[in-house]
Chains A and B, each alone.
Chain A
Amino acid sequence: MSPGASTEDTFRRKDLLGLRFLSAGEITHILDVAEQFRGLNTRAVKKVPTLRGKSVVHLFLEPSTRTRTSFDIAAKRMSADTFSISGSASSTTKGETLLDTAKNLAAMHPDIIVVRHRRAGGAMILADALPETCIINAGDGACEHPTQGLLDLLTIRRALGGFAGRTVTILGDITHSRVARSNIWGLTKVGAKVRVCGPPTLIPMGLEEWGVEVHHNLEEAVRGADVLMALRIQQERIPRGGHFFPTLREYSRLYGLNRDKLRRWARKDVVIMHPGPVNRGVELEPEVIDGDWSVILDQVENGVAVRMACMYLVLGGERAAAREGRG
């Protein structure tokens, strides 16, 4: 379990495993710090010495391009040394267990391990096994993707000015989505209302207990929502023979967003989000992706700032000099 619950508006944890473990104050604090880092990313010289002398290992045991690049840019802009280990190059393909991989990495004393793992709970195994190393979860199976959740929250906060009284609808495959879970935990904590919408085959059991409204009808889910967050249909992640929906064409007819549906059902100022990569014409029609309502590229931009903030904070942040422990 994640160590050291905090209710203060700071962040003093060793690891960032999931938004489920964080308080509203901690989440807000991360967003505030990320906001400060945002400015750096548009300067001519995009580098600060904050993490000089620190080593960051990117342990990506599942394919990823954008998340890894985002973490790598974030680390390098703070002057950390970065090392990349990908699924195909790692020992896990030679039969080594995750625990052994972790212990071997720890023996080389990295300061942060950013880990993406195909199985739920992967980051937690590392965090429990490595008391000296900060672990940042870059996605574990269908459980959590906390930095994605945080960058989505930052994007929503910038677009709407806050969360109170706002409604966010998450569309698509909730069952297999770690992005959905992190967003649900994060958004409900900071006071937003969350709806999910998708075919009953892709809505996991018990979501109502989290205070989430469940819809299967797109119109009902879209009406009145401030934000529509479409999720990627991850065909590569859905187990074979799942029978979740007949065809992408039919999925798109029922749950895809196009200009026409938005004009009829959505608020005029609705904000469209997507964690990417988008299946054009499946979850979103091109006119929606590229339209004024879309903040999809803002999400990507905010991702770098959020990841800088997370790395900075797990290593002790502004208290690093005082060294009061990061437990």
Chain B
Amino acid sequence: MSVRPTILTGGRVLDPDSGHDGIADVVIGRQGRIKEVGPGLASQADDKWLVVDCAGKWVLPGLVDIHVHFREPGHEYKETIETGCRSAVAGGFTSVACMANTNPVNDTGAVTRFMVDRAMRTGLARVLPIGALSKGLKGEKLAEISDMVDEGAVAISDDGMPVMDAHLMRRGLEYSRIFDVPVSVHEEDSCLAHHGCMNEGPTATRLGLPGIPNAAEDVMVARDIELAALTGGHLHIAHISTAGAVRMVREAQARGLRVTAEAAPHHFMLTDEAVGAYDTHAKMAPPLRSAADRDAVLAGLADGTICAIATDHAPHPAQDKDVEFELAANGIVGLETAWGLTMQRVHDGTLTLMQAVQLLTSGPSECFRLETGTLRAGRPADVTIIDPQGAQTVVPSTLWSRSHNTPFAGWQLPTRVERTIFAGRTVFVWDGERGRVGTDAARYRTR
């Protein structure tokens, strides 16, 4: 299926993979792949081409999120692969890796294939399933990892269910080496977390809520780093949240171990004070932590210890959130706010623009060994165009996700996703209101 040859002219091309930062044109070929990036290419175009004027805009590789929950199969009332993809492209993401905690759990090739097929039919974004580490996420027996990898799984993880059995984790890290896939881990010792539902600290004491200490994450990170050293497997720490964990990952990398980490925007934007008066939109696992932890996560992003920003996009409808705090579901939607929140950290000087783009493109891509997240010639033409003069006001009811659980309602975020191109086709364009999503989104605005 060929696409219309397209040229993106005159934009500021930011491609961390090649280090390119400057005004250039981007040519997309009929195969939906990047053909060429450079100055003065506009003369190639004839009237059959789609010409997108990007003057004054930023042209980036399509954003990559290695940690989302799309809920299908099993929990379609929260999100489906289609609604999740809509949310992704509206937020500038063209590659998303979705966790295995569906129903049935993605612990066989058949479920992996279902997800890939459903995503291909939707045609909006690259959906990369993450297979379960253990059968049924039960933490007892290894799942059939080869079967899932054959069908397209890019990593394995029991995310949401910490692997308490150290021996199983050891074997998982060892076995995963056959396929060279990372093992993404949700680091929380469930004995130490006990019945906790937010960060242990002054806010939890004030609210009378049971707390989860930093040590619940830290002891698991320490354990798994030693298992990575023992096995040579690729340990990837999902949604890192504590200062101690960031320090240990930094030390492990200095030892030469294959240890990587991702951080979620809520962990580098918010602290546990956001729980305020039992705001369930500030309830997540791992929990929002102290200001010192938030700052350590930011430092880890800035110095490269943390290689990726990943949203942990976790849709839950109102009925799962409008309940007593202790009973509320964990997590928030993240795909449509991640770019703007990250840009806030560029505007306040914590990250450079190139670092921010890297953490959302080549950083996660290299970590999960994906072919996207770059504008190199021959790679899929996944491109995100940003209007640096634009701005985004977060209005939950206008989000494309099926669920609207966000603690960022009303936030004003800098810059705006202007257009998202997936495999050479425009799948999202901003229209001044909510934007338009679809494989024919470009129809609404060509030049």
Contact = CB atoms under 8 A, between A and B. Distances in A.
B339 interface: no
A232 to B, nearest CB: 16
B206 interface: yes
Interface string A125-155: 1000000000000001111100000000000
A239 interface: yes
B56 interface: no
Contact of B204 (A124, A205, A242): A205
B323 A97 contact: yes
Contacts of A178: 208
Contact of A20 (B195, B206, B276, B322): B206
A205 B324 contact: no
A143 to B, nearest CB: 3
B211 A121 contact: no
Contact of B327 (A119, A181, A207): A119
B324 A143 contact: no
A117 B207 CA distance: 14
Nearest to B209: A120
A120 B194 contact: no
Contacts of B422: none
A6 to B, nearest CB: 18
Given A141-B208, A141-B326, A206-B201, A121 B194 contact: no
B231 to A, nearest CB: 31
B205 interface: yes
A204 B204 contact: yes
A144 B205 CA distance: 11
Interface string A285-297: 0000000000000
A207 B200 CA distance: 12
A303 interface: no
A142 B208 contact: yes
B47 to A, nearest CB: 59
Nearest to A174: B205
B202 interface: yes
B207 A120 contact: yes
A122 interface: yes
Contacts of B207: 120-121, 143
A242 B195 CA distance: 9
A1 interface: yes
Given A205-B201, A206-B201, A121 B277 contact: yes
B325 interface: yes
Given A141-B209, A239-B194, A239-B195, A119 B326 contact: yes
A158 B322 CA distance: 42
A207 B205 contact: yes
Interface string A65-108: 00000000000000000000000000000000111000000000
Given A120-B325, A121-B278, A121-B324, A143 B195 contact: no
Contact of A204 (B194, B195, B205, B278): B205
B205 A206 contact: yes
Given A140-B208, A206-B202, A209-B202, A122 B194 contact: no
Contacts of A207: 205
A125 B278 contact: yes
A117 B205 CA distance: 18
Given A120-B278, A121-B277, A99 B323 contact: yes
A39 interface: no
Contacts of B206: 20, 181, 206
Given A205-B200, A205-B211, A241-B194, A125 B324 contact: yes
A98 B209 contact: no
Interface of A: 1, 20, 97-99, 117, 119-122, 124-125, 140-144, 178, 181, 204-207, 209, 239, 241-242
21 contacts: A1-B277, A97-B319, A97-B322, A117-B324, A119-B326, A120-B207, A120-B208, A120-B209, A121-B207, A121-B209, A121-B278, A121-B324, A178-B208, A181-B206, A204-B204, A204-B211, A205-B200, A205-B201, A205-B202, A205-B211, A241-B191
Interface of B: 191, 194-195, 200-202, 204-211, 276-278, 319, 322-327
